[in-house]
């Protein structure tokens, strides 16, 4: 077997291994069951209730840790009607980036809907074409259209739902002559009273009173919690403040558990989303913020209600923020420090945690949160306020790292929200060396595609084709040298055959002589593999970018075909109960076109090498050519259409480039042959054309 054919087999083997892992990864994700998000309750906007500063209008008995003796004082808390109110808007593309639906229970977030993002690609296309027509279709047929993408959703059954940003647990110690203690475990299920509601601000309150009965307790308020939500236009951050007020005139010690964002849905495509809880820690020798992830697939052996520690705010490494994420979207809650020049909220001495929560379908998910312990409220300092900044939106590279991008905030970059983009888990080659290189390559690919869309007017499909020509232009010198080397190898084939006959079974001598022959004529079999090997990292980075870049979610190429570059093109779809092995329930036409391009490329390569190949070698090359076609179709059938589009365009561009280079080589060889075939005329030549006679020392003529 000659080295040229060995190099070709190495390339096929490398590509086969890469995309066999890609296919296995895709099949594994396909088996994951997508979660259907709960339908959001209709948002109501009641008239803001006017409440006195000291106590609510109505109260109910709170649940103490120890039941008081008969005749002693009891704890009473706010009683209010359950309701859901709306904050912000998801319909104005030039206004708010999201809409919050807030529930009175625990003053938590029922849902968070994003402006400009929808559940299905058909909804995205219809909204881009005519927003008013989409709104009418949504109102007339709510079963077919799900509306704007909802990042945060209730978790668990209706009688025990976990809501994002709800205040979960409260501990109050009343100090003095008659000390008392209350541990309220289910504060997140108790309705709070709505105090204020505007377009961008909502305020809730919960008051604790104490007395032998309800009437007497009204004159003895102990504690008030006031939670305020604020939104700003063109901002994905929700600003939350939780104010703890001492109304008793005595010293109070208060601790509370604050839920973080949870309830992110599974992305309902074939590749799954791999939901996770994550948090950012600051410290260590490099003083960098490291993002730590807990994948949801690791919940199998954990019990419901189990709490996992996620670091603290006051010890190195300090936990700064905690949140949840899926494939394209994330929600991160940052505990704001009391010192403006600090990143970590050291003063709160707050431990972060991750609870294992039950979902409505019986599955498990993460519910992160933070505990604010030991708030001492003496009478001379009766209030303390905790501030939280919660990012709720797409995990977009430009949003976290480009100061010119809409919605960018310097806090996102300082807190390393860019690390929330889970590049490593979606890399199709899970090797440590590769993972160290794939993050900068993928982020660079995301930046480059974004830059090319400026030229293509936002069309990422055209940007991918432009990327093909850009890569081909950069690799053209190497490709040209590869083609020249292959031509030289073809010319050396007779000499290689003679060396093989001469040395027979002496492989060491044969290899030594053949390498000397290649070196003498400037040829190398490795040059034939180099252009393809250099493109493999680009394929891997592009595949990873297509898997995690929210810019490519629902990004289309053509109006009726390839409408989502992050998923297979799915030209036709049939009922899922008729799914076929390796095919599923969709007919993907783009992988077939790509395979046809690869077939023609392999046919051209084999026709070039068969001129000097033996009959056995030609037969083997033909067999490899026809085996590669179904193998490539199998590997790429379920791949994202953006990756398949890149490889198909690159293959066709390579065929055209190869034809141009071959013609250039043939023209140069023909010109060289014409120069060597010049016939000398009879008689003496011109003096300037005669060869010079050799001269002796001191420039004297010989003879």
| Cβ-contact 194, 202 below 8 angstroms | yes
Q: Cβ–Cβ contacts within 10 Å for residue 630, how many?
A: 10
Residues 447 and 409 in one domain: no
At how many degrees (to 10) do helices 615-636 and 590-609 cross?
160
C-alpha–C-alpha distance, residues 114 and 97, integer Å: 6
- Nearest partner of 124 among 148, 99, 157, judged by Cα: 148
Residue 631 located in a structural domain: yes
Q: Tell me the per-residue pLDDT of 328-380, one tens digit each, with 9 for 90 and over.
A: 999 999 999 998 888 999 999 999 999 999 887 778 899 999 999 999 999 98
Enter the tokens of residue 351.
């431990």
Enter the tokens of residue 132.
């008013």
How many C-alpha atoms does 528 have within 13 Å on its Cβ side? 24
385 to each of 52, 225, 293, 381, 388, how far by Cα in Å?
A: 20, 10, 29, 12, 10
pLDDT at res. 694? 52
Task: Work out the average pLDDT over 596-606.
Answer: 79
pLDDT at 391 over 90: yes
- Nearest partner of 666 among 483, 507, 515, judged by Cα: 483
pLDDT at 699 over 80: no
C-alpha–C-alpha distance, residues 447 and 567, integer Å: 20
Residues 195 and 272 in one domain: yes
Q: Cβ–Cβ contacts within 10 Å for residue 482, how many?
A: 21
Highest-pLDDT range among 44-58, 69-83, 155-169: 155-169
C-alpha–C-alpha distance, residues 108 and 162, integer Å: 9
Q: Cβ–Cβ contacts within 10 Å for residue 373, how many?
A: 14
Task: Work out the average pLDDT over 432-448.
Answer: 78
Residue 4 located in a structural domain: no
pLDDT at 29 over 60: no
569 to each of 27, 129, 566, 573, 636, how far by Cα in Å?
A: 17, 20, 9, 10, 11
pTM of the predicted model as reported, rounded to 2 decimal places: 0.80
pLDDT at res. 16? 55
At how many degrees (to 10) do helices 460-491 and 432-455 cross?
120
Q: Tell me the per-residue pLDDT of 634-679, one tens digit each, with 9 for 90 and over.
A: 888 888 898 899 889 988 988 888 888 888 778 877 887 787 665 5
Q: Which residues pair with 229 in a beta bridge?
A: 202, 240
Residues 350 and 484 in one domain: no
The sheet that has 148-152: what strands, in order across it?
84-88, 98-103, 108-118, 148-152
Query: Residue 558: CB partners within 8 Å, gap ≥ 6?
Result: 461
My answer on whether omega of the bond before 105 falls inside 30° of 0, hence cis, is no
Cα torsion at 632, 633, 639, 644 (round to 10°)?
80
CATH of the domain at 393: 2.70.98.90
Q: Tell me the per-residue pLDDT of 274-307, one tens digit each, with 9 for 90 and over.
A: 789 999 999 877 788 999 999 887 787 888 889 9
Q: Cβ–Cβ contacts within 10 Å for residue 455, how many?
A: 11
| Cβ-contact 311, 283 below 8 angstroms | no
Residues 158 and 192 in one domain: yes
Residues 414 and 458 in one domain: no
625 to each of 593, 595, 598, 628, how far by Cα in Å?
A: 16, 11, 9, 5
Enter the tokens of residue 226.
């006031």
487 to each of 477, 528, 547, 624, 661, how far by Cα in Å?
A: 16, 10, 40, 21, 11
Residues 571 and 497 in one domain: yes
Residue 701 located in a structural domain: no
Residue 12 located in a structural domain: no
Residue 684 located in a structural domain: no
C-alpha–C-alpha distance, residues 123 and 29, integer Å: 24
**Does residue 117 sit in helix, strand or coil?**
strand
Residues 305 and 387 in one domain: yes
pLDDT at res. 291? 95
**Does residue 292 sit in helix, strand or coil?**
strand
Residues 475 and 577 in one domain: yes
Tell me the pairing of strands 252-259 and 307-312.
unpaired
Final residue belonging to a domain, choices 395, 424, 453: 424
Q: Can you tell me which residue has the tokens 């390559």?
A: 441
Q: What is the DSSP string of 515-581?
A: HHHHHHHT--THHHHHHHHHHHHHHHHHHHHHHH-GGGTT--SSSSS---TTS---SEE--GGG-BT
Residues 551 and 615 in one domain: yes
User: Sorting pLDDT into bands at 50, 70 and 90, what band is 428?
Assistant: low
| Cβ-contact 188, 174 below 8 angstroms | no
C-alpha–C-alpha distance, residues 34 and 146, integer Å: 15
pLDDT at 418 over 60: yes
Tell me the pairing of strands 74-78 and 84-88.
unpaired
pLDDT at res. 612? 47
C-alpha–C-alpha distance, residues 68 and 181, integer Å: 10
Range from 131-140, 352-361, 424-433 carrying the lowest mean pLDDT: 424-433
Domain enclosing residue 397, as ranges: 59-424
Q: How many domains does the chain have?
A: 2
Residue 1 located in a structural domain: no
Residues 499 and 610 in one domain: yes
The backbone torsions φ and ψ at residue 620, rounded to the nearest 5 degrees and listed phi first, read -65, -40
User: Sorting pLDDT into bands at 50, 70 and 90, what band is 695?
Assistant: low
- Nearest partner of 165 among 119, 117, 101, 234, judged by Cα: 101
Q: Can you tell me which residue has the tokens 């190869």?
A: 658
The backbone torsions φ and ψ at residue 118, rounded to the nearest 5 degrees and listed phi first, read -130, 165
Residues 496 and 633 in one domain: yes
Rounded to the nearest integer, the mean pLDDT of the chain is 81
Residue 690 located in a structural domain: no
Opening angle at CA 40, ends 39 and 42, nearest 5:
125
Residues 166 and 215 in one domain: yes
Opening angle at CA 406, ends 402 and 410, nearest 5:
50
C-alpha–C-alpha distance, residues 364 and 110, integer Å: 19
Burial call 206-238: b when 16+ CB within 10 Å, e when fewer:
bbbbbbeeeeebbebbbbbbbbbbbbeeebbbb
**pLDDT > 70: percent of the chain:** 80
Alpha helices in 101-203 (DSSP H): 121-129, 131-140
662 to each of 71, 604, 655, how far by Cα in Å?
A: 101, 12, 10
pLDDT at res. 683? 58
The backbone torsions φ and ψ at residue 441, rounded to the nearest 5 degrees and listed phi first, read -65, -45
C-alpha–C-alpha distance, residues 653 and 650, integer Å: 5
Residue 314 located in a structural domain: yes
Enter the tokens of residue 6.
């060995």
């Amino acid at each position: 077997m000659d080295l040229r054919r060995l190099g070709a087999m190495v390339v096929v083997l490398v590509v086969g291994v890469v995309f066999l892992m890609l296919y296995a990864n895709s099949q594994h994700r396909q088996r994951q069951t997508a979660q259907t998000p709960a339908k959001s309750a209709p948002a109501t906007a009641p008239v803001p209730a006017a409440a006195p500063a000291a106590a609510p209008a109505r109260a109910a008995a709170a649940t103490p840790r120890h039941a008081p003796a008969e005749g002693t004082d009891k704890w009473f808390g706010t009683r209010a009607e359950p309701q859901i109110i709306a904050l912000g808007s998801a319909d104005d593309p030039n206004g708010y980036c999201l809409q919050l639906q807030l529930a009175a229970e625990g003053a938590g977030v029922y849902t968070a809907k994003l402006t400009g993002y929808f559940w299905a690609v058909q909804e995205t296309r219809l909204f881009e074409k005519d927003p008013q027509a989409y709104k009418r279709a949504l109102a007339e047929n709510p079963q077919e259209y799900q509306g704007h993408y909802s990042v945060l959703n209730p978790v668990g059954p209706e009688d025990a739902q976990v809501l994002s940003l709800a205040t979960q647990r409260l501990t109050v110690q009343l100090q003095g002559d008659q000390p008392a203690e209350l541990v309220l475990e289910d504060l997140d299920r108790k309705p709070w009273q709505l105090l204020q509601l505007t377009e961008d601000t909502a305020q809730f309150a919960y008051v604790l009173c104490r007395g032998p009965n309800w009437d007497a307790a009204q004159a003895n308020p102990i504690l008030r919690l006031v939670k305020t939500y604020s939104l700003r236009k063109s901002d994905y951050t929700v600003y939350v403040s939780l104010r703890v007020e001492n109304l008793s005139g005595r010293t109070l010690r208060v601790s509370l558990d604050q839920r973080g964002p949870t309830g992110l849905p599974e992305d309902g495509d074939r590749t799954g989303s791999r939901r996770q809880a994550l948090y950012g820690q600051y410290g260590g020798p490099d003083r960098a913020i490291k993002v730590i992830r807990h994948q949801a697939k690791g919940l199998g052996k954990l019990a419901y209600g189990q709490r996992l520690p996620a670091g603290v705010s006051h010890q190195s490494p300090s936990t700064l923020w905690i949140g949840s994420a899926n494939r394209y979207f994330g929600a991160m809650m940052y505990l704001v420090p009391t010192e403006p020049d600090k990143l970590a909220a050291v003063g709160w001495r707050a431990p972060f945690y991750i609870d294992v929560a039950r979902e409505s379908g019986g599955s498990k998910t993460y519910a992160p949160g933070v505990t604010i312990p030991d708030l001492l409220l003496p009478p001379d300092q009766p209030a303390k306020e905790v501030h939280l900044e919660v990012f709720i939106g797409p995990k977009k590279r430009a949003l976290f790292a480009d100061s010119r991008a809409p919605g960018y905030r310097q806090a996102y970059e300082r807190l390393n929200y860019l690390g929330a983009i889970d590049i490593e888990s979606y890399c199709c080659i899970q090797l440590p060396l590769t993972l160290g290189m794939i993050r900068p390559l993928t982020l660079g690919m995301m930046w480059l595609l974004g830059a090319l869309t400026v030229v293509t007017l936002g069309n990422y499909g055209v940007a991918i084709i432009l990327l093909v020509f850009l890569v081909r232009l950069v690799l053209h010198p190497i490709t040209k040298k590869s083609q020249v080397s292959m031509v030289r190898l073809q010319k050396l084939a007779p000499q290689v055959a003679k060396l093989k006959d001469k040395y027979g079974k002496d492989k060491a001598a044969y290899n030594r002589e053949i390498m000397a022959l290649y070196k003498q004529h400037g040829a190398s079999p490795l040059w034939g593999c180099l252009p393809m090997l250099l493109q493999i990292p680009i394929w891997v980075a592009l595949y990873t970018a297509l898997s995690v870049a929210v810019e490519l979610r629902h990004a289309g190429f053509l109006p009726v075909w390839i409408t989502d570059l992050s998923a297979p093109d799915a030209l036709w779809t049939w009922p899922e109960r008729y799914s076929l092995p390796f095919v599923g329930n969709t007919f993907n036409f783009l992988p077939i076109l790509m395979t046809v391009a690869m077939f023609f490329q392999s046919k051209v390569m084999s026709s070039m090498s068969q001129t000097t190949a033996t009959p056995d070698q030609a037969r083997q090359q033909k067999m490899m050519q026809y085996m590669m076609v179904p193998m490539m179709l199998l590997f790429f059938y379920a791949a994202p259409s953006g990756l398949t589009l890149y490889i198909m365009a690159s293959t066709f561009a390579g065929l055209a480039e190869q034809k141009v280079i071959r013609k250039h080589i043939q023209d140069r060889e023909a010109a060289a042959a014409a120069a060597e075939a010049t016939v000398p005329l009879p008689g003496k030549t011109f003096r300037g054309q005669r060869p010079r006679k050799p001269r002796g020392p001191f420039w004297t003529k010989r003879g």
